[in-house]
Structure formats: structure tokens, C-alpha cells
Amino acid sequence: MIIDKKRELGQFFTPKGVADFMATFFFDQRRTVNLLDAGAGTGILTKSFINRLCLSQNRPEQIKVTAYEIDSILIPQLMETMSECKRICEDIGISFKAEIRRKDFVEDAVRLIRKNGATPIDLKFNAAIVNPPYKKIKSNSKSRLLLQSIGIETSNLYTAFLSLIVRLLNKNGELVAITPRSFCNGPYFKSFRSDFLNSMSLQRIHVYESRAAAFKDSEVLQENIIFHAVKEYTQPDRVIISNSLGKPDASVSMHEVKYTDVVASSDADQFIHLVLNELNIKAKKLMKRLTTSLMELGLNVSTGRVVDFRAESFLRKTCHNNTVPLIYPCHFNGGYVCWPKIDSRKPNAIVDSAQTHQLLVPSGTYVLVKRFSAKEEKRRIVACIYNHKKINAPFVGFENHLNYFHNKGNGIPLKLAKGLAVFLNSTIVDTYFRQFSGHTQVNATDLKSLKYPNKATLEKLGDLINLSGWNQDNIDNLVKMEVFDGQEKHKDSSKKTA
């Protein structure tokens, strides 16, 4: 019951250390503060914000807080927190008012936005601090329809909260939010990103390096970021990117990067890259030089079609007459698939029958990429080759925890497959990938959005890896020499000819 409610209302409460840290992100300059805390819980974010203002050199004269909370159980504690804030402020001569709205923030915000349209009114806030609830919004739900009625198209409550807050802020209003980093990339959040980046100027992004760092709760499955943005229609030249491991006392490293390194002006998808350090900047610069799309290579990437629990009755421990190989991540072994793995808990084969045939792909060479990396794995992208010459079977099944690169549903030439696997396994690609993907998942759409070396370069990598062997240093050296230094050479020689 409690767990259901927690999920239903997206209740992951912010630890005090994180709330205090968020409060330090705000600029320190207003005489009058009109703060919005949407989805306030017990009010921890407001309290940290007020403490921070009270300690600052440049204290405001008055503060008004509007806190929304839908869960009536939390209201007494929220009221208690507001009374405490009032006491702290009034002790040092700051006037303090709080209004608690026991309402659905989406409904109320849509009502206010509709009622007031573009006219600035005193309800508009100049500061907002939020840890919005994370929950999918169904396409036919009341919230979704309300959001659509004011032009907000989004499928998650957390981005809905952010879009509404942006509209309720006045010009120069500041927003500090802790959210999953999933909105930074991927097609689902494209319209949110565009809406957000058109009205808000990103000032700082803080990245927690481990998934459960900010919330010590095993149910929080995504990496979290804190960001600070100001309502302005132009982007700054530079953005601060900081990161830490997440423990309250962990050191924070910080650096400034060009805004265009975070969101490239040429990127129609407006991916937000979390460029953490020199290595990240370098990886991004190098990857930006690549121009070949998967389509131009004549390739595509899809998610493995065999969802094992749905096909359970067709799975077999070992191969028999009527079965074909079934490949799982456990079959990865260095650069190649090692099959069968009899000591594994996973099946090795699937029955090829009328019911399962559409789940299989024809025999051939495929590059496989794990969709979920294991904790002990250093890299997020782990690629390996399924080579039909080593496994004699007319068809093969790739389980749903894998992505597979193919050519219109068929295999690809071995040399190209090897080059592609080398490239994908390189540290540069992995470093670049981590900047825009906070998931532990590697989705086919993410792999489609990457740019690749051209076919000749990939084939050369494929040739050379035979000579050097699949260890990380060899892979990285080959990719450096053939893909990136090679480009430099090419650029230099074309400059000379010009």
C-alpha cells in the first residue's frame, strides 16, 4: 500500500544534504522573493532555500512561498516546516508568508496559465525549487489533456511540472531542480527540450556520478542531475558543469564549458551533453568530426526480438533438432559470442516453430550490444560479434536484452562487423555516450543517433584488430590512429591540396 502510493505520487524525498546543496545554486540578489515549491512534500527544499537566504550577505526584505502538495498525509509536516521558516525569517527582520495549496499542481497551474495568458501578474514567481514527481502520464489521462490544452506535449509528470513552472516564472525568474537526466537525450523528450531551452537559459548542471547517489533508495533507477536555469530567451555563452559522487561530504569538481559544447547549435534534437571534464570535451570534439550515419553505412540497429518470459515454453537449455541458438548477454566473451554456455542459468536455444519463427533472424554476422551493462563493467557500451561461421545454424534468436546491428534484417560482412565492434568498444565512444545518456540502458535509438567512421575506415579497423587482439589498449590505439588521427591527416592533406 505504502509502496503503491510512493509510486503513484512519485514520492522520492530529497535528503537534507542535497536540498542544502541545491539552495546554494541560486543567485543572491533579490529584495523580494516569490518562491514556488511544486510537489513540496514536507517542505525540505523550501527550508534549505530559506536557511540559505537568511545566511546570505544580501538578505531579501520579504519572502512569499507557495507550496503545492497533493498528499494530505504530508500537509501537517509541511505546515510545521512553514511555521519554522516564518520563525527563522522574522527573527532577523525578513517578512515571511506561506501559502500551502493542497491541490494537484498540474490542474491548478494549467488553470492559472489559461486565466492569465501572457499578461504578467503578481502570481508569477521569481524563484522555484523543485524535486518533481517522476511518473508516466497516460496519453488519455486528464493531466495529459490539460497539458495539451496549453500546448505542453510530454509523457512524464516530472517534465510536465518543469514546463508549467517555466510558464509561471517571471522574466529573470530562477529555477533549481533535481530530476532524472533522461530528458537530456532521446526522442521522447525532444519537444520538452525545445520548449525548455527556448525560454530558459541554462546556468549550471550538476551531475551525480552514481545512480543511487542522491537518493539512497534502490527504486531510483536513473542518474540524477541538479540544474539551475534562468528565464531568459537567450542562452549564455558558458555553462558551469559540476559533478560529485553524491555523498554529502563528497568533493565537487566544477568547470565551465561553452554552451555550444552542451547543446550544439546544429543539433535539431537539442541533446544536452553533460561534458564533465577534459576527457569528455575531447571525446565530444572528436566524435563531432564523424559524419557518417548508420543509414549511410547501409546498416540499422534493432532490439533483440525474443522476450524470454513471453517465449518461455520454447526455450531450451541445449540445442536439439528443432531449435536454433538463442543469444543472451552471458554469451559475450571478449570480441566474440561464445555459444553454447552450458553452465549458464540462461537457456542456449529456442525452438524454431510457427509461433517463434518471426522472432528469429537469418544466419549471418551481426554486431551485438548489451542493453544493460553489468555493475562490474567499466564501459556502458559493450559490443561483440555473432559470427555464423563459428555457429552452424540457419537462424538465430537475439534476446531482448541485446541490440543487434544488421543490414535490412540480414547479417553484415565480417570485416565491417569487426570494425564496428572495435569502434563501439572504444573508450572515446563510451565517454561520449555517457555524456548524453544517463540511463544504464543502451537503446537502439541512442545507437542510431551516433555518427560513425566511414565504411573504409571501419573495414580497416576490422582488418587490424585481427593482428592486435581485443584488449582495451589495442582497441583505443586503433581507433585513435585509424579514426581520429586519420581524420587529422586527411584534413591536413586536403588543406595542402587546397
Q: How many CB atoms lie within 10 A of CB 195?
A: 20
Q: Which is nearer to ligand SAM, 229 or 479 (CB)?
A: 229
Give least dist CB 458 to ligand SAM, A.
44
166 within 8 A of 136, measured Cβ to Cβ: no
Size of interface with ligand SAM, in residues (CB under 6 A): 21
Taking CB under 6 A as the rule, does residue 226 contact ligand SAM?
no
Binding of ligand SAM by 131 (CB under 6 A): yes
Q: Is 66 helix (H, G, I), strand (E, B) or coil?
A: strand
| CA 451 to mean position of chain CA atoms | 19
**Contact predicate 348/323, CB 8 Å:** no
Cell of 144: 495529459
Using rule CB under 6 A, residue 11 touches ligand SAM: yes
Contact criterion met (CB below 8 Å) for 435 and 405: no
CB of 33 to ligand SAM, least distance (A): 18
Is 160 among the residues that bind ligand SAM (CB under 6 A)?
Answer: no
Contacts of range 260-264, beta carbons closer than 8 Å, 24 or more positions apart: 262/202, 262/205, 263/197, 263/202, 263/235, 264/288
Calculate ∠ Cα 187-189-190, nearest 5°. 65
In the complex with ligand SAM, the residue whose CB is nearer, 72 or 139, is 72
Task: Figure out which of the listed residues 21, 41, 262, 421 binds ligand SAM, where binding follows CB under 6 A.
Answer: 41
Cβ 487 vs Cβ 289: under 8 Å: yes
Is there binding between residue 340 and ligand SAM (CB under 6 A)?
A: no
Question: Please, which residue, 20 or 308, has the CB nearer to ligand SAM?
Answer: 20
Q: Whole-number minimum distance, CB 183 to ligand SAM, in Å?
A: 15
By the rule CB under 6 A, 14 interacts with ligand SAM? yes
Q: Which parts of 49-108 interact with ligand SAM (CB under 6 A)?
A: 68-71, 74, 104-106
Give the nearest distance from C-beta 70 to ligand SAM in angstroms.
Answer: 4
- 3-state DSSP assignment of residue 151: coil
- Considering beta carbons, is residue 178 or 241 the nearer one to ligand SAM? 178
Among 7, 13, 62, 116, binds ligand SAM (CB under 6 A): 13
* Closer by beta carbon to ligand SAM, 72 or else 358: 72
With beta carbons less than 8 A apart as the criterion, state whether 37 and 68 touch.
Answer: yes
What element of type H or E holds 488? helix 486-497
Question: If binding is defined by CB under 6 A, does position 180 make contact with ligand SAM?
Answer: no
Residues comprising the chain, all counted: 498
Distance CA 302, CA 405 (A): 7
Figure out which of the listed residues 10, 236, 413, 486 binds ligand SAM, where binding follows CB under 6 A.
10
Rounded to whole angstroms, what are the CA distances from 497 to 281, 290, 490, 494? 30, 21, 11, 5
Q: Is 378 left (phi over 0), alpha (psi -120 to 50) or beta?
A: alpha
Q: Considering the complex, state which of residue 105 and residue 436 has its C-beta at the smaller distance from ligand SAM.
A: 105
Q: Does 133 bind ligand SAM (CB under 6 A)?
A: yes
Q: Is there binding between residue 22 and ligand SAM (CB under 6 A)?
A: no
45 touches ligand SAM (CB under 6 A): yes
Name the site residues for ligand SAM (rule: CB under 6 A). 9-14, 39-41, 44-45, 68-71, 74, 104-106, 131, 133
